[in-house]
Amino acid sequence: MGSMAVDMVHTMDTRLLRTFTTVARTGNLTAAAEQLHLVQSTVTAQVQALEKELGLCLFDRLPRGVVLTGAGREVLAQAEALLEAESRLRAVAASAGGTGGRVTGRVVLAAGETLVSARLPGVIAALRRSHPGIEVDMRTMGTATAVAALRTGDLDLALLLEDEAGFPDIACTPLAREPLVLVCSPEHPAARRAPDVPTDLADLAREEYFLHEQGCSYSDRFIERLLTAAEGTRPRIARFGSLEAARSCVAAGLGLSLLARANVADALAAGRLTQVPGPEFPDVTVQLARHRRRWLSPAAAAFTAELPHHFPH
């Protein structure tokens, strides 16, 4: 593969490499086209052009998608290295004055909807003012999906809502803690309980809940606590892929939800939701995650430096 790498350096259009690596990571031409903002026919043509130029079959075409061949797996490692080298070269050119000394580049970031809706818009707005040459590609992912994407190089950074994040190849740095709050509609019976007689978990286990989807760490832990306290009865729990759907059901008086305070602060202030008297729930840790062996670009470093200003200390 050494001579192949040299040939790729001298002659390869990096657009073909970027398309190839995206198809390899997604295993699907349609998904790759969506990520690259291309039509599927263009993705197919670019993969075929790369295969023709290298004289190799890179993918096996199967009914459910595409799978790398043995040669494709070898080419993928080389292609990822070359694309990372290209990013480094662009960063060197920028620091040497090629872009007027400004930090430029693209940062691909993932986080759960809790943070995407409550925290990251402010981060991106501030970054546009301080570093207008940085483009942020923000994606909504749970912990497992985000960690997998960091490993494949699909992401530069991820924000995880996890108190413990033990991944040998992923560096996780605690960034902040998000307060959690149990909420209901002001008209719900749970809101009318006397504050000096707090509700315990056994009572709460009899209520109906609208929670964030499976994989949301604080919702999963809350359900475990409810099930432990339920004493033979199973709590009624509906889970949604959208925080807004859960909030709307709760605001309509249909049940309760445990959410990050940042996601319901406006509704609490406006009186559309109220905090349920009862046990307190520990804050959840926000972890900043990145691959240990991958280069942190100047754009990603600038994004990382901006993050702490938008979280509670």
pLDDT in tens, 48-62: 999 999 999 999 998
Domain containing residue 50: CATH number: 1.10.10.10
Return the minimum-mean-pLDDT range out of 26-35, 75-84, 224-233.
224-233
Average pLDDT over residues 250-254: 95
User: 221 and 159 in one domain?
Assistant: no
pLDDT tens-digit map of 199-249: 778 888 889 999 988 778 899 989 988 888 877 777 899 999 889 999 999
Distance in angstroms (rounded) separating the CA atoms of residues 13 and 46: 10
The number of distinct structural domains making up the chain is 3
Please report whether residue 159 resides in a domain: yes
pTM of the model: 0.72
Please report whether residue 44 resides in a domain: yes
Q: On the CB side of 288, how many CA atoms lie within 13 Å of its CA?
A: 16
Parallel, antiparallel or unpaired: strands 180-184 and 274-275: antiparallel
User: 230 and 305 in one domain?
Assistant: no
Range of the domain at 127: 103-173+286-310
Please report whether residue 95 resides in a domain: no
Please report whether residue 98 resides in a domain: no
CA 238-239-245 angle, 5° bins: 100
User: 262 and 141 in one domain?
Assistant: no
User: 269 and 219 in one domain?
Assistant: yes
Domain containing residue 278: CATH number: 3.40.190.290
Percent of the chain with pLDDT over 70: 90
**Residue 240 in contact with residue 246, Cβ under 8 Å?**
yes
Please report whether residue 96 resides in a domain: no
Where does a domain end: 90, 121, 147? 90
Q: Residue-wise over 199-233: b if at least 16 C-beta within 10 A, else e?
A: beeeebbebebbbbbeebbbbebbbeebeebeeee
Please report whether residue 97 resides in a domain: no
User: 237 and 201 in one domain?
Assistant: yes
Average pLDDT over residues 120-141: 93
Domain containing residue 304: CATH number: 3.40.190.10
User: 70 and 23 in one domain?
Assistant: yes
